[in-house]
Amino acid sequence: MPSELERAMESLIMVFHRYASKEGNSTSLSCRELKDLMANELSGFLKSQKDPAAVERIMKDLDSNGDGEVNFEEFVSLVVGLSIACEQCYQLHLKKGKK
């Protein structure tokens, strides 16, 4: 039986490929696929963004090899960055709770 972390990793992989397979290249996300993924899977994050061009900037920042698409490795850097930010918020919440 897979562990909680193993299930989380499997979920991350499955979500990526569900969106990547919508258009041409099934191993990377186009800008439209990334927008769809973020709108459906990270809607809370997008709601906090006031800039409508945020996804395009994120796409540009993630596309480290400059091919105009986001592969899995590039996508994981987004998830890691957001996870770090969430963990920092969690730590602040814990500190406030102790006061």
Percent of the chain predicted with pLDDT > 70: 91
Q: Which residues pair with 20 in a beta bridge?
A: none
Q: What is the rounded CA–CA span in Å between residue 35 and residue 8?
A: 22
* pLDDT tops 70 at residue 8: yes
Asked if the model's pLDDT at residue 99 lies above 70, the reply is no
The more confidently predicted of residues 51 and 24 is 24
Angle at 72 between CA 28 and CA 29, to 5 degrees: 25
Per-residue model confidence as pLDDT tens digits over 28-50? 999 899 989 988 998 877 776 66
When the pLDDT of each residue in the chain is averaged and rounded to a whole number, the result is 87
pTM: 0.81
CA distance 62 to 76: 9
Q: Domains for the chain: give ranges and CATH numbers.
A: 4-98 (1.10.238.10)
Measure the CA–CA gap between 99 and 82, rounded to whole angstroms.
26
